[in-house]
Amino acid sequence: MLGKLTAEFLGDIGQVDQLCIVGKNHNYLILADASPHMKIFLNPYGLSLKGKNTTEDNLNNKTNGSWKCHLIPGGHTDVIMDLTVSICGQWIASGSKDQSICLWHLIESEDSISSSLHKSKNVPVKLDLITQIHKAHAAHISSVCFDRLTTHLISSSEDGILKVWNVQCNNLDKPDSVLSELNTIHGAHGGVINSIDVSVDNRLVATASRDKTVKIWEFKKQSLHCQGVLQGHRRGVWSVCFSRFEKIALTASGDGDVRLWNLKDFSCIRTLEGHDQPVYKAVFLSHDKQILSCDQKGLIRLWNISKPPKNNQEKSENFDKPSSEETSSLVYEAHDGRIWSLAICPDESGFFTGGEDETLCYFEDITEILLNETSQQQEEYIQTQQELDNLVHKQMYADAVHLAVKLDQPKRTLDILQELLTQDNFKQTCKDNQSIKYPTQAANLLSVLDDFANKSHSESLNDSLNLSQRLLSYAINWNTRTRTSMISQFVLNWILTRWKPEELLEWPNFSQAIQYLLPYTTRHYQRICRLEEQLAILNYISEVTDEHLISTDAFDEPMELDNDQNNVSFNSTQNVNTSLS
């Protein structure tokens, strides 16, 4: 899931403490702020188009939502601390600082969806207060939660007491018997119980407390029995929720950590570190492959937990070692201050957040949109690359350069120009001065650039200037590296000789471009001068060596004596012998 801030409501709603999505089609939003009354949004962004009466045109229209809301009077006399909604979306329970619990029933008219879409003046829904239990707890009620069957309600208070209530939704004729107390657990925690959640199979209940622990309870025979304790957080735990697919619990704490727990042995299997402030909410997303968390600073983090940590060692060693996937989580800046409430759309098409900055935000899931855009971009990229390859193969270099620059592909442009310099069998019609001043390949390159400018000019004068200026920006980057500096200098030479100085000064940021080019150009010039000096010395050494090189040809051939010399030697010997005799 990739979220995008689609809508934001700034109004006189106070600090947003609780948010919940209600209705048969989950198309209404209820808000509890720092007041005894709730507010209902009948046509909120992201939810207004959900329902069986909506058409495909409405579903494609993302702007039909509004922030028009209605006040729900009655009920509590002090600030509402928590809200919970049944699975069917028609029953709401609220707990307040006035120590009371209220049970509400959402009544929708048959044309509620259509009337909300057309913004009818008549309110399409009605929230009836069925019953209210005064003094349900001896302290402020901190959390309430329905079970999966909406037959029981679990509540907690700031004194650490848990209570289980029987809910009879079918007995509306007797409001006093709709909600009745079944069981009370004293000393369930040593501090305020901040959060309650019920597992998907309705067998387990989790409670998170400020005493730094989370307790797992077995929900059996209308009573709760403690099965284990999750310990490891260094601060109070603000949020807990069960996974829908595995026996795993998710917790968020004031120590800034988000942790995953194995419910078989109640051990921590993963720690997500990234928040540097207390984390107040954390929920599963995308079939439990992602986690959404929000903190005190107003930041929202989206974690990817589909891959296991790289350090797959002992569990205890992974507590404080987040993996690379964890540290690269997506971060959204949502609020200026604490984010107290987080509500996920049932189809996970988006989520709502509310905080102490009196702001309500809606984030839309744009994953599918981005995937479609990415797929389309890849398809277009493949087509353009094939077209560029065809142009280069046909030696239509001017068209290839024009297309590459137009598509803003500096790497591809560089490859085409470099390939042009290596082509010995390519002959481009060059200007007389170009063929005289430069070697064949360089003259061909400058001529191709001229054709590139003429082709751009034939389409539009502005396009020609824009593409030439873009090519100059490429040359600035190419000039920073020795390997590509020669291409950069050719492009710079072409620009300086094609346009007059007064025309170039009118280009945006041209003087700044010259400042970028000068240091590297000077460095390249000095490097070439040193190479010329070294080459001259090398030539001198080679010439001197050739002059003093001794030929070894005479030693390789056998010695031959002249006939006259042989005769002389023979006669001399004969004379000597005669004298001796």
Report pLDDT digits (tens) over 65-107: 677 788 888 889 999 999 999 999 999 999 999 999 999 999 9
pLDDT of res. 441: 66
Instruction: Tell which phi-psi region holds residue 101, choosing left (phi > 0), alpha (psi between -120 and 50) or beta.
Output: beta
User: Residue 255 gets which letter from DSSP?
Assistant: T
Could you give the count of Cα atoms lying within 13 Å of 293 in the half-sphere of its Cβ? 36
Contact criterion met (CB below 8 Å) for 148 and 202: yes
Q: Are residues 350 and 409 in the same domain?
A: no
152 in a domain, yes or no? yes
**pLDDT over 70 for what percent of the chain?**
78
Which secondary-structure segment (H or E) carries 493?
helix 485-498
Question: 220 or 444: which carries more pLDDT confidence?
Answer: 220
Of 365, 384, 407, the residue at which a domain comes to its end is 365
- Work out whether strand 330-333 and strand 80-85 pair parallel, antiparallel, or are unpaired: unpaired
Q: State the CATH number of the domain containing residue 254.
A: 2.130.10.10
- State yes or no: pLDDT of 178 exceeds 60: yes
504 domain-assigned: yes
Please report the pLDDT score of residue 458 as a whole number: 62
Whether 455 has a pLDDT exceeding 90, the answer reads no
Q: Does residue 61 have a pLDDT over 80?
A: no
Dist. CA 309–CA 326, nearest whole Å: 8
Looking at beta carbons, which pairs linking 283-287 to residues 24 or more positions away fall under 8 Å? 283/239, 283/241, 283/250, 283/342, 283/344, 284/241, 284/243, 284/244, 284/250, 285/1, 285/344, 285/348, 286/1, 286/348, 287/244, 287/245
| Res. 423 pLDDT band, cuts 50 70 90 | confident
In a domain, residue 381? The reply is: no
218: its two tokens = 């077995």
| 337 and 483 fall within a common domain | no
Q: How confident is the model at residue 330 (pLDDT cuts 50, 70, 90)?
A: confident
Among 1-15, 195-209, 320-334, top mean pLDDT goes to 195-209
Residue 337 lies in a domain: yes
102-114: average pLDDT? 73
Average pLDDT, the chain: 81
**Same domain membership, residue 445 and residue 336:** no
pLDDT band of residue 163 (cuts 50, 70, 90) is very high
Residues 452 and 311 placed together within one structural domain of the fold? no
Question: Which residue among 313, 348, 365 closes a domain?
Answer: 365
Calculate ∠ Cα 394-400-404, nearest 5°: 150
Number of neighbours of residue 525 by Cβ within 10 angstroms? 12
- Write the burial class of residue 404 (CB in 10 Å: 0-12 exposed, 13-18 middle, 19+ buried): buried
Q: Are 465 and 499 in contact (CB under 8 A)?
A: no
| Contact between 323 and 260 (Cβ < 8 Å) | no
Q: Comparing 319 with 281, which gets the higher pLDDT? A: 281
Same structural domain, 324 and 434 = no
Q: With residue 415 as reference, give the H or E element that holds it.
A: helix 410-421
Q: Is residue 380 one of the residues assigned to a domain?
A: no
pLDDT of residue 14: 81
Say how far apart CA 258 and CA 301 lie, in whole Å.
11
Quote the CA–CA distance of 14 and 19 in Å, as a whole number: 13
Q: Are 246 and 260 in contact (CB under 8 A)?
A: no
**Within this chain, do residues 478 and 347 fall inside the same structural domain, yes or no?**
no
Q: Which residues touch 48 (CB under 8 Å, ≥6 apart)?
A: 27, 64, 65, 66, 116, 117
Contacts of 331 (CB under 8 A, 6+ apart): 274, 299, 300, 301, 302
| pLDDT value for 58 | 43
Distance in angstroms (rounded) separating the CA atoms of residues 86 and 280: 22
Same domain, 48 and 148: yes
Quick one: 462 and 336 in the same domain? Answer: no
More confident residue, 525 or 370: 525
Cβ atoms of 241 and 230 closer than 8 Å: no
Same domain, 340 and 430: no
428 token code pair: 């481009």
pLDDT tops 80 at residue 51:
no
pLDDT of residue 297: 92
Residues 91, 17: one domain?
yes
The pLDDT, as a whole number, for residue 424 is 64
The answer to the question of residue 571 being in a domain is no
Range of the structural domain that residue 122 is part of = 3-365
pTM check: above 0.85 = no
Domains held by the chain: number? 2
* Best CA proximity match to 491, nearest among 416, 417, 399, 400: 417
* Cα distances (Å, whole numbers) of residue 452 to 230, 410, 441, 505: 69, 15, 16, 21
pLDDT of residue 73: 84
Q: Of the ranges 34-48, 82-96, 216-230, which one carries the lowest mean pLDDT score?
A: 34-48
- Check whether 379 has a pLDDT greater than 60: yes
Asked if the model's pLDDT at residue 318 lies above 60, the reply is no
pLDDT at 551: 52
User: Do both 357 and 419 map to the same domain?
Assistant: no
DSSP code per residue over 419-434: HHHT-SS------HHH
In this structure, are 361 and 397 located in the same domain?
Answer: no
pLDDT digits (tens, 9 = 90+) for 240-251: 999 999 999 999
Q: Is residue 572 part of a domain?
A: no
Domain-ending residue, one of 524, 541, 559 = 524
Q: What is the pLDDT of residues 463-499, one digit of tens each?
A: 678 888 899 999 999 999 999 999 999 999 898 888 8
Q: Please check whether residue 229 lies inside any domain of the structure.
A: yes
- 108 pLDDT higher than 70: yes
